[in-house]
Amino acid sequence: MNLFYAIILLILGLTILIKGADWLVDGAVAIARHFGMSPLIIGLTIVAMGTSAPEVAASIVAALTDSGGIAVGNVYGSNIANLAMVGGICAIVRPIVVSRDAIVRDIPIMIGVSLLLYGIFMDSAHSIGHIEAGLLLLLFAGIILFLIYSEKKQTQKGLQQQTDQEAAVEHAIHHPPKTLWGSSLFILLGLVCLAGGAQLTVVSAKYLGQRAGLSDEVIGQTIVAVGTSLPELITCLIAALKGHDDLSVGNLVGSNIFNTLLVTGAAGLTKPFVVSARMAGADLWLMVGVSVLFSVIAFAYKKINRPAGVFLTVIYVGYIAYLLKTGTPEIS
C-alpha cells in the first residue's frame, strides 16, 4: 500500500461505514415501526445506537487486529469531538438550548461513565478483559432501560418528548424500505458495510498514522475518531438548524455515553486488550476534562451560545495540535 491508495481507502472506508450505519438504521426503524414500536423507544435505542455504529465497528476491528490503542483512542477522540467539535460548530451555526433533563440526568451520567473507565484502566496492567467488558455492556443495557422509563414518565406529562423522539426518527431515516423483506435486506447490507468499512478505515488509518509517526492511540483519537463522528455532526447540524435543541444536545451526550460503554465493552468482549499508560492516564483525563468543561457551560448558561461554541471549537483545535505534537509511538 502507498500513501495515495491509503488516503483513497480511508475515504472509501469512512463512506461505506457511514452508509452502512444509515442502512442499518433505516431497516431497523422500518421493522420497529412494522411491529408497532413507539417513536420514543425507536429514538432512544435504534437511532441513538445507529449514530454510534461506526465507532463500534471500527473499535471491534481494531481490537481484533491487536490495536487496542486505536479502539480506546476512538472512544476518547470521538467523545471529545462530539462535545468540542460537533457541539462547538453547531452552537456557532445556532445557539443550542440545553434541556433540564440533559442537565440533571444525561450529563451527570456521561461524566460518571467517563470516570468509570479510570477504574478499569487504573491497575498496573492497563487492560480490559471479558469480565470488565461484560459489566460495561450490562451497565449500558441498564442505562437504556432507565432512559426509556424516564422518558415514558415525561411523555405522560406532555407531548414535547414524544414530538422530539418522532423528529429524531424522521431525521435518522432517509429512504425507509416498505416491506419486511426490504427492511431485512437493509439491515444485512448495513452490517456488511459496517464490517467492510471498518476494516478499510482501520487498516488505512493505521498505515497513514504510522507513516506520519503517530502511535495507535493518537491514530484512534484523530483520524478514526473524526471520521466516525461525522454522523453525529450531520445529525446535530440538521437538528440545530431545525430548532430541535433537545435532539442536538441529547444526541451528543447520549452518543458519548454509548461510546464509553457500548464501544469499549463490545471491543473488550470481542478480544481483551491493553492500553498504554498515557491512555490510562493523561488522555483519559483530557476526555473527562472536556466533558466537565462542556457540562459547566451547560449548567451555568443553560445553553451553548456562539461564544461558547467558538471556545469549544478552539479547544478542539488545540487538542488535535497537542496530539499531533506528542503522538510519536512509545518505546516499550
What are the angstrom distances between the C-alpha of 196 and each of 19, 67, 206, 225, 274?
11, 17, 16, 17, 25
Q: Over the range 98-136, which residues count as b (16 or more CB within 10 Å of their CB) and which as e?
A: bbebbbebbbebbbebbebbeebbeeeebbbeeebbebb
Residue 216 near residue 73, CB atoms below 8 Å: yes
Specify whether the CB–CB gap between 247 and 167 falls below 8 A: yes
Give the pTM: 0.83
pLDDT in tens, 110-130: 999 999 999 888 877 788 999
44, 165 contact by CB (below 8 A): yes
Taking the domains of the chain in order of start, what are their residue ranges?
3-326
HEC string of 243-289 equals CCHHHHHHHHHHHHHHHHHHHHHHHHHHCCEECCHHHHCHHHHHHHH
Angle at 280 between CA 279 and CA 284, to 5 degrees: 70
pLDDT band at 156 (very low <50, low <70, confident <90, very high): low
Give the model confidence (pLDDT) of 19-62 as tens digits. Answer: 887 787 778 777 777 777 665 566 656 766 777 788 888 888 88
H-state helical runs in the chain: 3-34, 39-42, 48-64, 68-80, 87-93, 100-101, 107-121, 130-157, 160-172, 180-211, 216-219, 225-228, 230-241, 245-258, 264-270, 277-280, 282-301, 306-326
DSSP SS3 for 125: coil
**Three-class DSSP category at 303:** strand
Distance of CA 196 to the CA centre of its chain: 19
Q: Is 165 a residue whose pLDDT tops 80?
A: no
pLDDT band at 160 (very low <50, low <70, confident <90, very high): low
Cβ distance 217 to 70 under 8 Å? yes
Tell me what the mean pLDDT of segment 236-262 comes to. 76
Greater pLDDT, 39 or 221: 221
Q: What angle do CA 226, 82, 295 make, to 5 degrees?
A: 150
322-331 burial, b at 16+ Cβ within 10 Å, e below that, comes to: ebeeebebee
Q: How confident is the model at residue 325 (pLDDT cuts 50, 70, 90)?
A: confident
The mean pLDDT value of the chain amounts to: 83
Higher pLDDT, 190 or 289: 289
Q: Is the pLDDT score of 235 beyond 80?
A: no
- Is the pLDDT confidence value at 330 over 50? no
Domain 3-326: CATH superfamily is NCX, central ion-binding region (1.20.1420.30)
Specify the DSSP class assigned to residue 128.
E
Q: CA 110, 21, 82 angle in degrees (round to 5)?
A: 30
Helix (H, G, I), strand (E, B) or coil at 176: coil
Percent residues over pLDDT 90 in the chain: 27
What is the model's pLDDT at position 154?
67
